[in-house]
Amino acid sequence: MSELARGHTGFVPSLRRINALVYRHVYLLRSSGPRILELVYWPTVQMILWGFITVFLIGHSSWIAQASGVLLSGVLLWDVLFRGQLGVSLVFMEEMWSRNLGHLFVSPLRPFELGCALIVMSLIRTLIGVGGAALIAIPLFHYSIFNMGLPLLAFFLNLIIMGWSIGLLVSGIVLRYGLGAESMAWIAIFAVQPISGVYYPISTLPTWLQYLAALLPSSHVFEGMRAVLFDHSFRVDLLLHAVLLNALYLTAGFVSFLTFFRIARVRGQLLHVGE
Amino acid sequence: MSPPVVSVSRLSKHFDSVIAVDDVSFEVAAHSTTALLGGNGAGKTTTLSMLLGLLLPTSGSISVFGVDMLRERYRALPRLNFSSPYVDLPRRLTVRENLTVYARLYGIIDISARIRALSEELQIGRFLNRPYGQLSAGEKTRVVLAKALLNEPELMLLDEPTASLDPDTADYVRGMLEAYRRRTGTTILLASHNMSEVERLCDDVVMLRAGKLVDRGTPAQLLTRYGRQNMEEVFIDIARQRHLELAPSGKPAAKP
């Protein structure tokens, strides 16, 4: 082995490689103001829209009047899920657009480490985007989602983990089917929005859809969010449901990503992807 | 005698009904420069991709540094590197950022010193802080070579290392590769269409056509065997299957 380099096996080298890939995307982010602006733009626009809807509905809906932050909390937490998923998928597609996968996978980087780096970058992007919108909501609508306290952290973690799981699945699909499938990154998550109960209780759904909703970590999180806002109680049962489901989701996300990666190696797609 | 650095045995790759590589076996000796030659679609890039582990073979085995690349490629990857015109670096990152990222991936201890040394060796210092995407083809080639040399690899796999370069830049790259091999004793396996490059750099030539290994030897042996003055004529003989009528008798000189 070259004397220039450290060892390559074990936990620390693995962290070092994840860190290297995170640096690659931090370099990209910090070199482009528009990219950072874009991260904050949509969550902020959504927050402003639902903020004014809330202002209007407070005078027309007793339900909203009981907990005026329910829609704003919903939209901000939904964006945690959406941005979490988008962060993983977009950062992965960035490697495909730049035709860089061949170099990456000839280096000692493992696919699992790439997945971890995607997750770290997704966290950074989500904190910038949704965090920015949440801060802007404080002076604009006199509403701070941070007043939820510790439950907010539990909601945030569960939603972003679900987003990572779907993001890893979508990244695998894009690797398998090529950039023709990249629109999946923007639309996939919206399939679960109607049954996640972002803006209304799960009981609003038909019974058969409620069974489906129970399989989503997000539906338990949003029910838990309403319990905090309306009843001022933290539902541990809902949290446990979400955590258990997310353990399955994240495992499935990584397994699907690694499976699609192997298929890409069989089909020769690592060397011939790009714009 | 050192064991071969690369050992390929009965390697095949099928894409559905297309046979890209068909039962190919060869070895690459330590400290040698070996060329994989063949026309378009001969299977050069596919073979290199399988050697690197980017592509899984349909059958056969690949050993690099004695490591089974199908089972334990991560043991060998830190000791090799590659460049290819089919693979790019992130265009919006500067050259320095790109090299820093890969230096971290390869676990380089003193990254600044390594980049400084490579920027002197490859004369890339003046555009270290420019985005990679803004460089000319020649400048990009130097940067990709710098990336390929970051870990001071014991094996370099180069896919068409001078493709789309002007003669001056191509000559510079060949000279750099010669000097690097002399200095470090690295083993080089390159795929190329450029016959003067092969004559200048290579100790051994593996000829592929339609996925099959059709001939191999030193450039001098191949020139004698085909009765030709240069490797370009040998290449054309093999590409047009003229060698088939010659091989059984062993008589030299395929006629145009």
Yes or no, beta carbons of A17 and B104 under 8 Å apart: yes
B 210-239 residues inside an 8 A Cβ radius of A: none
Count CB atoms within 10 A of the CB of residue B133. Answer: 14
Report the CATH architecture of B6-217.
Answer: 3-Layer(aba) Sandwich (3.40)
Residue spans of the domains in chain A: they are: 11-267
Residues of A in contact with B45 (CB under 8 A): 271
State yes or no: pLDDT of A105 exceeds 80.
yes
Q: What is the pLDDT of residues B117-163, one digit of tens each?
A: 999 988 899 999 999 999 998 899 889 999 999 999 999 999 888 88
Q: Between B74, B91, B92, which is nearest A110 by CB? A: B74
> Where, residue-wise, is CATH 3.40.50.300 in chain B?
6-217
> Bigger pLDDT: B56 or A64?
B56
Query: Who's near A91: CB < 8 A, 6+ residues apart?
Result: A25, A117, A118, A121, A122, A125
Residues of A in contact with B94 (CB under 8 A): 27
State yes or no: pLDDT of B110 exceeds 70.
yes
Query: Who's near A235: CB < 8 A, 6+ residues apart?
Result: A223, A224, A227
Instruction: Indicate the pTM of the whole model.
Output: 0.89
**What's the pLDDT at B237?**
86
A180 at interface of B, judged by CB pairs closer than 8 A: no
d(CA A12, CA B136): 37
Percent of chain A with pLDDT over 90: 78
Tell me what the mean pLDDT of segment A84-102 comes to. Answer: 93
Yes or no, beta carbons of B82 and A106 under 8 Å apart: yes
**What's the pLDDT at B245?**
54
Yes or no, beta carbons of B54 and A109 under 8 Å apart: no
Q: Which helix (H) or strand (E) holds B59?
A: strand B59-64
Q: Between A94, A99, A268, which is nearest B55 by CB? A: A268
Count CB atoms within 10 A of the CB of residue A23. Answer: 17
**What's the pLDDT at A51?**
93
**What's the pLDDT at B243?**
61
What are the start-end ranges of the H helices in A142-273?
A: 150-177, 184-187, 207-213, 217-226, 236-267
Q: What is the pLDDT of residues A148-204, one digit of tens each?
A: 999 999 999 999 999 999 999 999 999 988 888 888 888 989 999 999 999 999 999
CA torsion sign, B43 to B48 to B52 to B54?
negative
Q: What is the pLDDT of residues A212-251, one digit of tens each?
A: 999 999 999 999 999 999 999 999 999 999 999 999 999 9
A272 at interface of B, judged by CB pairs closer than 8 A: yes
- The whole-chain average pLDDT of chain A stands at 92
B79 at interface of A, judged by CB pairs closer than 8 A: yes
Yes or no, beta carbons of B107 and A13 under 8 Å apart: yes
User: Which site among B105, B156, B187, B189 would you substitute to test the A interface, given the most A Cβ atoms closer than 10 Å to its Cβ?
Assistant: B105
CB pairs under 8 A between A and B: 127
- The whole-chain average pLDDT of chain B stands at 89
